[in-house]
Amino acid sequence: MTKDLTTGRPMGVIVRFALPVLLAMLFQQFYSLVDTLIVGRILGPEALAAVGSTGSLNFMVIGFCSGVCAGFAIPMAQAFGAKNENDLKTYIGNSLWLCVAFSLVLAIVTGVFCRQILRLMNTPEDILERAYSYIVVIFWGIPVTYLYNMLACMIRSIGDSKTPVIFLGIASGLNIVLDVFFITVLKMDVMGAAVATVLAQGVSGLLCLWYIKKKFSILHPRREHLQPSRWYIGKLCAMGIPMGLQYSITALGGLILQTAVNSLGTLYVAAVATGSKTSMMFCCVFDALGTTIATYSGQNIGAGKVSRVRQGVNACMLLGSAWAILALLLYFFAGHLLASLFVDSSSNPELIALVRRFLVANSLFYIPLAGVNIYRYCIQGIGFSQMAILSGAMELIGRGLMGLFLVPAFGFAAVCFANPMAWVAADLFLIPAYLHYTKKLAHLEPAVQMA
């Protein structure tokens, strides 16, 4: 059931591993997309804007959770690649304690200060209460987010990228049913969409737990592996916290930008929300390639195969560039059709036009976005997770400058190019960093392989 990524043709290995990861991410995005679609179609543009206005805040907090779990999985992948079962199980045991602590602290802090944060973001008063009722439920459900993400990352670290897809597929179907039930039958408004998301993700997490217990004895830590170890905790935090902070720092720029968008009015908030949800679905390809190269790089560095890491990165960039061109063509010719999935095109023609404009502008820079994901996750996979913070800082600067200075001056036109500026800024750091670290490790490769 495990998969060794250190052998075989890199392109073939990457495609076979990335496809299930992509499906898993599409299912995960499906939670959010279905929420947006049902909310927009049933409850109207104001409710859509309320949910959309929380997107950057949601990404900052939930992205931290996902990043931490992905970082914890890197030492596991390295231990698996090095065929060191004791280290693998000890990393698992210590990561469980860390996840419990992190999830409880984050849930309490974000749940308590949620309303104040929304006010600081200049959330329009006509959607403030709805935005709060949606995002506070998501935040109280953070332990559930950790449950699924940590278990799914553990399974992927040993090469099984297919199983989490199956469970997310089940959860996605459940999410749709619960969305409709809570919103249309129980009349819970946007809060119903949030409750449905948390419950569905909880189901996928419990399914992962059941499957690990049933199928993967290599992931079963014994009592001695559950003893907290300062060294293992330090290694996990050195990998996980920078990856989590990278998401949060990146999202902080998004918060600044969202604050600027909020000042433009509800119509523009709804346009950015709809465009962002659509874009996130298409960008799952880049996220999947990033997740794949992290596990691939971790296993191959553990096996001492540095040159194979570079081959994998080149394969990922080729795949990502091809998808970027395809997405641009689709947005250009059918962007208005994608937008009409969320709102009635006949009664909201201005909103439809704004969404298409946003999508086309973003997709012009999807190749740099592919680079952000692939180079960043490769650097993390080979053991330099701290560099993720610096790349996140570059994205923060890009979005922050646009939100603070250019959006007030140029309005929605500047909003459309804020994300592209952030991606280019991150690549200016990541590409030289990738070349530097792979060159540095290349000198060690013969010694590693002889050890």
Q: DSSP string of 389-431?
A: HHHHHHHHHHHHHIIIIIHHHHTHHHHHTHHHHHHHHHHHHHH
39 assigned to some structural domain: yes
120 assigned to some structural domain: yes
CA dist 20 and 188 (Å) reads 34
CB 92 within 8 A of CB 225: yes
pLDDT digits (tens, 9 = 90+) for 337-351: 988 877 766 778 899
CB 76 within 8 A of CB 299: no
5 assigned to some structural domain: no
Q: How many domains does the chain have?
A: 1
Long-range contacts of 410-418 (CB under 8 A, 24+ apart): 411/264, 412/264, 412/268, 412/271, 412/354, 412/357, 412/358, 415/257, 415/260, 415/261, 415/264, 415/268, 415/272, 415/358, 416/357, 416/358, 416/361, 416/362, 417/361, 418/257
Write down the pTM of the prediction.
0.75
Take residue 269 and report the two structure tokens written for it: 């908030």
Q: pLDDT band for 402, please (50, 70, 90 cuts).
A: very high
pLDDT digits (tens, 9 = 90+) for 57-91: 888 888 889 889 988 988 998 888 888 999 999 99
For 322, the domain range is 10-450
36 assigned to some structural domain: yes
Q: pLDDT band for 451, please (50, 70, 90 cuts).
A: very low
CB 247 within 8 A of CB 64: yes
Phi, psi of 162 (to 5 degrees): -90, -40
What's the mean pLDDT in 172-195? 89
43's CB contacts (< 8 A; 6+ apart) are 183, 189, 190
Average pLDDT, the chain: 88
Q: pLDDT band for 407, please (50, 70, 90 cuts).
A: very high
390 assigned to some structural domain: yes
On the question of pLDDT at 1 being above 60, the answer is: no
133's CB contacts (< 8 A; 6+ apart) are 189, 190, 191, 194
On the question of pLDDT at 250 being above 80, the answer is: no
The confidence score (pLDDT) of residue 136 equals 95
What's the mean pLDDT in 426-433? 94
The confidence score (pLDDT) of residue 114 equals 92
332 assigned to some structural domain: yes
CA dist 410 and 81 (Å) reads 51
CB 225 within 8 A of CB 83: no
The confidence score (pLDDT) of residue 445 equals 59
DSSP 8-state class, residue 7: S
pLDDT digits (tens, 9 = 90+) for 15-42: 998 998 888 777 767 666 666 778 877 8
Choose the weakest-confidence range: 175-184, 236-245, 315-324, 382-391: 382-391
Going by C-alpha positions, the residue among 16, 51, 21, 20 that lies closest to residue 33 is 51
Take residue 427 and report the two structure tokens written for it: 């690549």
Instruction: Look at residue 3 and give its three-state secondary structure.
Output: coil
277 assigned to some structural domain: yes
On the question of pLDDT at 200 being above 60, the answer is: yes
3 assigned to some structural domain: no
Going by C-alpha positions, the residue among 372, 343, 347, 368 that lies closest to residue 356 is 343
On the question of pLDDT at 366 being above 90, the answer is: yes
